[in-house]
């Protein structure tokens, strides 16, 4: 069995709120640095994404790939690679655990990546770790910043930059 990399982070929000952000693929380009476009290709019988096409630009790795998603209850989602230009394997999962009577959530992200070009296992694990850490940090920032419709827009960001200059 292929090796995988795993990491966890605590987010100050209920599991349902965290999963809501994870399941909102259309907004991935807004909070993930690497995903430039996401398109839900198919949904399951509960209306959740079953297949998603993602355009990825992670510096040296640019890819157009499709993932198949499996939802297990309300607190776990896993995915596996359907097709890709550069990847042989991209399997992963988010597992959410309620903490503090549901006021916060531990998110565990597990990932296995294998590229079509030869690469040392040590380098693959490092790449997985970078992907996981960025994804968890982006997820935490997105969830804890509040509902998407309250997220700062360009005018708010410009105003914040102007206020910072005054300090």
Q: What is the pLDDT of residue 69?
A: 98
> Quick check: 104 pLDDT over 50?
yes
Q: What is the pLDDT of residue 125?
A: 64
Calculate helix-pair angle for 121-144, 15-23, nearest 10 degrees. Answer: 110
Q: What pTM did the predictor assign?
A: 0.78
Q: Cβ(27)–Cβ(45) under 8 Å? A: no
Q: What is the pLDDT of residue 123?
A: 59
Q: What is the pLDDT of residue 94?
A: 97
Compute φ and ψ for 56, nearest 5 degrees.
Answer: -115, 135
Please indicate whether residue 17 or residue 159 has the higher confidence score (pLDDT): 17
CA distance 118 to 151: 41
């Amino acid at each position: 069995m292929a090796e995988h990399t795993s990491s966890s982070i605590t987010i100050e929000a209920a599991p349902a709120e965290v999963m809501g952000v994870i399941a909102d693929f259309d907004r991935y380009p807004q909070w993930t640095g690497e995903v430039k476009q996401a398109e839900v290709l198919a949904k399951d019988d509960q209306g959740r994404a079953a297949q998603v096409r993602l355009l990825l630009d992670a510096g040296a790795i640019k890819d157009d790939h499709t993932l198949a998603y499996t939802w297990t209850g309300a607190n776990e989602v896993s995915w596996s690679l359907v097709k890709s230009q550069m990847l042989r394997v991209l399997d992963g999962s988010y597992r959410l655990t309620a903490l503090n009577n549901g006021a916060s959530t531990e998110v565990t992200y597990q990932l296995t990546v294998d590229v079509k070009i030869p690469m040392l296992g040590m380098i693959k694990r490092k790449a997985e770790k970078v992907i996981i850490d960025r994804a968890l940090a982006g997820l935490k920032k997105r969830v804890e910043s509040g509902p998407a419709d309250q997220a700062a827009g360009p005018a708010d960001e410009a105003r914040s930059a102007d206020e910072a200059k005054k300090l």
